[in-house]
A and B are shown apart, each in its own frame.
Chain A
């Protein structure tokens, strides 16, 4: 008998929770393929190391962009490999709960469930990422109080107000930490005339990126290819430059939080002031982001204790209590 699974199929990382065992897999959502034969050559960490460093016949891709499946076939193969890795075979077909962005369309929803069923799942149910995040972050969502959660992922940023086990207000934008990386890449190309890869852009973001001024800021040396000469070149970037480069993306995220606050019922407003909002997701780790949101909304912002795992833990809780929490699944609410 297969153990049921919860999968956080994120744009950046994929996490798998196995019923009764906890998180059993956590790796980048990347797959490397042979361009000519279509064979899978690597997945996860191994494929991530190949990004931007492959010979012509190999392509390392992220099959999800903006939280949506951009390549159905590749996604299905990735899910199949994930299920195999955690022991699913043709004889052991588990029930699977998959976390997806709340703004997902009906077509995208069907694409995810079809991919999971074709990959070996007996039944595939979907749950909104902010709802799963709120469960995993241990917010008191069973009480009649306003719980606000901001989930900033690789391709989407979602803010939800949750009370009595249901979503009261929701706001989502298809902007996430990959857009921050892209903004850094574009800035370095435009202002310094060098081309850098997406992994280097991510490293710059982690090293000196911030959404608001922070103490002990340092500069970083970055190497890339000179666009004029075609030769390797090194430049020095300052935290102010990076803040300027990513300001547009950060503003979009902050504005979506403001819109969600405006949508929430007035009765819950005082709860936000006393309880604050909770930040989850890898994008929430950007330095100064919590302070920036707090400054612009005048509502305290707290970081979840497990920002990267909260979503899959929430979905894992739903798989542990499948029958009692059926109404959490998309399309099951009555």
Chain B
């Protein structure tokens, strides 16, 4: 009985270790991919679209001033 229990414990430990290891590998790959995505989003090509929107200054006409107290609900 003791040997069976020990066997189960050993199997659990091995499975747990295997899961932990398998999780760590993709997560480091994820961080590399995420950092690369971050740098790609900062490339001049990616930024060109935003900067080209620059002259669109007067597309929204200012509305008359009217305080909207309803918004003040502390969301």
Chain B residues close to A by CB (< 8 Å): 37-44, 46-47, 49-51, 53-57, 59-60, 62-63, 65-68, 70-75
Contact = CB atoms under 8 A, between A and B. Distances in A.
Contacts of B67: 39-40, 77, 80-81
Interface of A: 17-18, 21-27, 39-44, 77, 80-81, 83-90, 93, 117-120, 122, 135-136, 138, 140-142, 164-165, 306, 309, 313, 316-317, 320-321, 324-325, 327
Contacts of A21: 53, 56, 59-60
Contacts of A81: 65, 67
Q: Which applies to chain A's interface (DSSP): helix, strand, loop or mixed?
A: mixed
B50 A317 contact: yes
B42 A135 contact: yes
Nearest to B52: A22
B41 A42 contact: no
Given A24-B59, A324-B38, A42 B65 contact: yes
A93 B75 contact: yes
Nearest to B53: A22
Contacts of A25: 60, 62
B54 A306 contact: yes
Contact of B75 (A18, A122, A306): A122
B44 A325 contact: no
B47 A85 contact: no
Contacts of A140: 44
A317 B73 CA distance: 30
A40 B65 contact: yes
Most buried by A among B57, B59, B65: B65
B72 to A, nearest CB: 6
Contact of A321 (B46, B62, B66, B70): B46
B47 A135 contact: yes
A169 B66 CA distance: 44
A309 B55 CA distance: 10
Contacts of B73: 90
B65 A321 contact: no
